[in-house]
Structure 1
Amino acid sequence: MSPEKELEEVIHDDSSSERAMSVSSESTSESDSTTTVTKAELYDKLARQKHENKELRKQIQTLTEQNNTQTHEIHELKKQIIDMQLTLKAADANTRKLHTKIDKLLEQQTKDTTQKPSNLPPSSSSRADNTRKHKHDFSSDDDTPKPKKPDTNKNRTLQTPTPKTSANNATQNATRPQTPSAQTATPPTDKTPQVPPVILRKQDRWMEVQKLLTTQHIRYTKAKLINDGVAIYPCSPQDHRALTRTLTDKGEEYHTFTLSEERTLRVVIRGIPAGITPSEVQLDLEQQGFPGAIVHRMAGRQNRQEMPLVLVQAQADQESILQVTRCCSLVVRVERQRKQQVATQCHRCQRFGHGQSRCTAAPKCVKCGENHSTHECKKTRDTPARCANCAGPHPASYLGCPKYPKSKQTKTPVKTHTPTPTQTAANTQPTPAPTPGTSYADMTKKDTTTNTS
């Protein structure tokens, strides 16, 4: 090949490579422009999303503040309601005291009017002077006249006249029944409700809790060591509430009991089928004028099968719920809840003597005894149970557990049927023993003569 042809080929190759480079540069610029546009859109979207998130955070913060404000207002209202209830109780106590004083005054006035004498006896001072004057004269001087005893019958001016004055009048008047005002003279003794104790479960935490009570100015009468921990006895219901609130805030384990003024009325409604839900029963009771009632479906202890009974927790002043005869368009019977024949057991810590609603102790499983709630237990039926109280091979609710309170066990009395007697009163006399030497005819003759007489 000649040098000229070689030069032409080289020039042709250079031109083709230049065209290829220009095409690739154009495609690269186009891809860069599209990438730039996509990044800008993404930045815009990200900015908008951040702005929306910021607005949502503001709304959440506003709602949280409103919720906290409402919670604080509700708490303050509850405090005001409790204070008003205490004020009303104090006013009722003062009213009862005033009634007692009025009854005493009326009784005294009645006694003064009924026992007003016609001839007033000498005053106490004159009687004392006469006593001093004639103290030794009665024994030394026989001519000194002795004082006469006042006639008690003359002073009874307002009593009904008796047909004949005798010595038995004093006895009859002494045994005469008192008037209603005299019977109500003794004031009723108002028993102040006792404040239940608060049991601190961890004994080694007592010194820290005692310092906390001193700092919070929570009063208590005494604290003593018991089997379940340290029992703290608050002075008043207010101290009881402050103590439980403080222990809850500090995360202390304790259990206590319901205050007498916070106890509810627990009744059982019979005749509610299992197909009716507790919410439907609650709605029906609210329509009948019993708001705030809490309804639970009752089930059997052995098979846990639902029964046609519901347990209702109503307010203490809603005694009229016992008069309800219809519920959910059904004829029902309402009665007070019977006292349990078994000891109270906490479904949280599985110990006896208190309930779950007032316990903050660590949870224990009723099946395996481990530190978790019963509904979280994964024990199978093949795995043996373990008691949380005595570590025995049985559930913690077993009545035969050695830790079960023996004083709470009640034996069911055996009911025996006694037939109704059909004999008359005359025939129920015991038959006398036969007398030796007496025939049956003589005995029957004597009986007939006795009956005829």
Structure 2
Amino acid sequence: MCPKRHTNLSPLSKPGHPSPCSAAPAPRPKSAAPTPVPAAQRSEAASVPHDKRPTPIIQVRDKWPMIPSALSNKFKVVATATAQGIKMQLETADAFRFVTRFLQEKEVYYHTYTLAEERILRVVIKRIPKKIPVEEITQSLKVQKFPVISVFDMTRMGIKAPLDLVQVYLDLTPEGKAIFDVKSI
């Protein structure tokens, strides 16, 4: 414990002036996490092209040994140990779907993002009178060539009172993004 705390105004706290209380931090012990990629496969792993696919990150390292054995014959997995957990890079969207389904079934705690091709665009349109039916709004948007998935009336939480807002789900395409340029429906 340091007998005297130094403030930022002290010349001892400036860069190049070590504090008498600053000692080199103790080295952290290396974690006993398994090596996800064997040395023989590292040259192959480096040559695998990876696009912007989301990567599942397994946050409980103890569960790692069961995963490669389940995936060994189906998909090629490149894994690296990170501070967040074991990061898996997968080649295809099918592999991503299979791995996330597998992790859910085995109740393995993991984190990932949605695939780009599965994302949708959610838009709230204001000042739509409550008396206009959702089907009419959907038809109007489809006539204007928007890739509409669904349309919902929005209601106030709790009392379910209708609002002058409509939520529209669209495909995340350039045609769908063109809805931001619409002046009237």
Question: Normalised by the shorter chain, which TM-score bucket?
Answer: 0.5 to 0.7
Q: Give 1:233 deviation, angstroms.
A: 3.1
Does the 8 Å contact 1:297/1:311 carry over to 2?
yes
Please give the alpha-carbon distance, in whole angstroms, between the structure 1 residues aligned to 2:73 and 2:120: 33
TM superposition score normalised by structure 2: 0.53
**Separation in 1, partners of 2:136, 2:86:** 42
Map of 2:78 onto structure 1? 220
Contact 1:195 1:233 in 2 (8 A): no
Q: Kindly tell me the number of residue pairs found equivalent between the two proteins.
A: 131
Distance between the aligned counterparts of 2:106 and 2:161, measured in 1? 37
Conserved 8 A contact 1:268-1:312: yes
Q: Is the 8 Å Cα contact of residues 266 and 314 (structure 1) preserved in structure 2? A: yes
Aligned residue for 1:91? none
Letter in 2 for 1:234: Q
Mapped pair 1:298 → 2:151: no
Aligned to 2:106: 252
Distance apart, 1:242 and its partner CA: 0.9
Alignment partners' CA distance in 2, 1:196 and 1:202 = 18
Match of 1:266 among 103, 108, 122: 122
Q: Is the 8 A contact 1:299 1:306 kept in 2?
A: yes
RMSD: 3.4
| Whole-angstrom CA distance in 1 between matches of 2:159 and 2:57 | 34
> Would the alpha carbon gap of residues 225 and 279 (structure 1) be closer, same or farther in structure 2, given more than 3 Å must change?
farther
On the 8 A contact 2:148/2:168 being kept in 1, the answer is no
Q: Which runs of 5+ in 1 are unaligned?
A: 1-191, 328-453
Find the counterpart in structure 2 of residue 27 from structure 1: none
- Residue 87 of structure 2 is matched in structure 1 by 232
Q: 1:274 to 1:211 in 2, by over 3 A?
A: farther
Deviation at 1:208, TM superposition (A): 1.1
* Residues 278 and 255 of structure 1, relative CA distance in 2, 3 Å threshold: farther
Contact kept in structure 2, 1:220 and 1:234, CA below 8 Å: yes
Equivalent position of 1:284 in the other structure: 140
1:263 maps to amino acid: R
CA contact (8 A) 1:269 1:311 kept: yes
- Give, in whole Å, the separation in 2 of the partners of 1:205 and 1:283: 49
Secondary structure of the structure 2 residue equivalent to 1:215: coil
Equivalent position of 1:443 in the other structure? none
Alpha-carbon shift at residue 321 of structure 1 (Å): 1.9
Is the Cα contact below 8 Å between 1:269 and 1:309 reproduced in 2? yes
Structure in which a larger fraction of residues adopt helix: 1
Matched with 1:381 is none
| Residue of structure 1 in register with 2:180 after alignment | 322
Tell me the distance in 1 between the aligned counterparts of 2:147 and 2:78: 36
CA contact (8 A) 2:77 2:89 kept: yes
Distance 1:320 1:206, change over 3 A: same
Per the TM alignment, residue 209 of structure 1 is displaced from its structure 2 partner at its CA by 1.3
CA contact (8 A) 2:55 2:90 kept: no
Could you tell me how far apart the structure 2 residues matched to 1:280 and 1:202 are? 49
Partners of 1:300 and 1:193 lie apart in 2 by: 41
Q: Percent identity among equivalent residues?
A: 27
Residue number in structure 2 paired with 1:198: 56
Closer/same/farther in 2, CA of residues 262 and 247 from structure 1, 3 Å limit: closer
Say if 2:99 is the partner of 1:242. Answer: no
User: 1:304 and 1:220 mapped to 2: Cα distance?
Assistant: 48
Please report how far the alpha carbon of residue 303 of structure 1 lies from its aligned counterpart in structure 2 after TM superposition.
5.3
Shift of 1:224: 4.4
In structure 2, the CA distance between the partners of 1:232 and 1:303, relative to structure 1 (3 Å rule), is farther
How many angstroms does 1:201 deviate by?
A: 6.9
TM-score, length basis structure 1: 0.25
Alignment of 1:110-189 (within 5 A): none
Q: Deviations over 1:300-355 (max 9, x none)?
A: 4575543211222222221322232333xxxxxxxxxxxxxxxxxxxxxxxxxxxx
Larger radius of gyration: 1
Q: Structure 2: which amino acid aligns with 1:220?
A: V
- Equivalent residue letter for 2:106: E
Aligned equivalents of 1:277, 1:231: Cα separation in 2: 49
Structure 2 segments unaligned to the other structure (5+ residues): 1-49
SS of the equivalent of 2:70 reads: helix
